[in-house]
Amino acid sequence: MTKESATYTHGQHPAVLRAHAWRTAANSAAYFLPHIKPTSTVLDVGCGAGTITVDLAQRLSDGHITGFDSDPTIITQAQSLAASQGTTNVTFTAGDANALPYADNTFDIVFCHQLLQHVGDPVGLLREMKRVAKSGGGIVAARESDFGSWVWYPETEGMEDWRRLYMRVMRANGGEPNAGRMLHAWARRAGFERDDVRCSTSSWCLSTAEEMSDWVDAWAERTEAKDSEFARTAVEKGVAAREELEAAARAWRALGASELGWNSVPHGEIVCVKK
């Protein structure tokens, strides 16, 4: 069985989970919603706490969705979320996405959200997603952030330093922070023909006082907290000193302190058809 070689940069710190809880089908999966039918069978690879998964399940009146993640603890949280909402057409399973425990041609739709940026072999994982998608029109979809394209206002001292620091840490962990712009190329290498890959982009835009406060707090905390996976690996791998992490967190808080604070988070998206 193939084992994941990269380390998940964010970990499951409370600040990360707070940010992830905001994700829904509407704000994170709109690009492939037209392909979902009430009877669809769907696999969410790297489902995390399951907010997108459970939201999609409620659109499948006669279908079923499976959430799959490497972390058994986060799977337990996803199961609790589904139970709290009375959602029964969803199953959650833990394992390594590089070797999915499903037969060929099992699912109508196989998708992932902000997963490929964190893995050591994104092409191989897309190939595995393609394997379990149904032949003759099954869909493989992915949406990945592109950290080199993040935009904020106003220009805030230290934010570009944060971007460079983040990219160093993710790459030291085996990931790719600019995954959004690479998705189409990875899909081609995974075996999809050019005309079978549909590309799009969309962004999260944080602009209200509440949105910016929550967003900034989450990023500042995960950047400097000593119990944060991001901060721990940055220091242990010699990528950043504690002082750099604390300065980056201050930059985030300075951005959030502005009444004009605004942040755009672009994503690349692909919808691939398996013939």
pLDDT at 33 over 90: yes
Q: How far apart are the first and last CA of the chain?
A: 27
pLDDT of residue 9: 85
Q: Which residue type occupies 68?
A: F
pLDDT at 101 over 90: yes
pLDDT of residue 179: 98
pLDDT of residue 2: 63
pLDDT of residue 18: 87
Instruction: Dig out the tokens for 246 from the structure.
Output: 């604390």
pTM for the complete prediction?
0.95
pLDDT at 252 over 80: yes
* Residues 107-139 as b or e (16 or more Cβ within 10 Å = b): bbbbbbbbbbbbbbbbbbbbbbbbbbbbeeebb
List, for residues 173-208, the tens digit of each pLDDT value: 999 999 999 999 999 999 999 999 999 999 999 999
pLDDT of residue 130: 98
Q: CA–CA separation, 197 vs 61, rounded Å? A: 28
Q: What domains can be seen in the chain, in order of their start residue?
A: 14-274 (3.40.50.150)
Q: CA–CA separation, 181 vs 26, rounded Å? A: 21
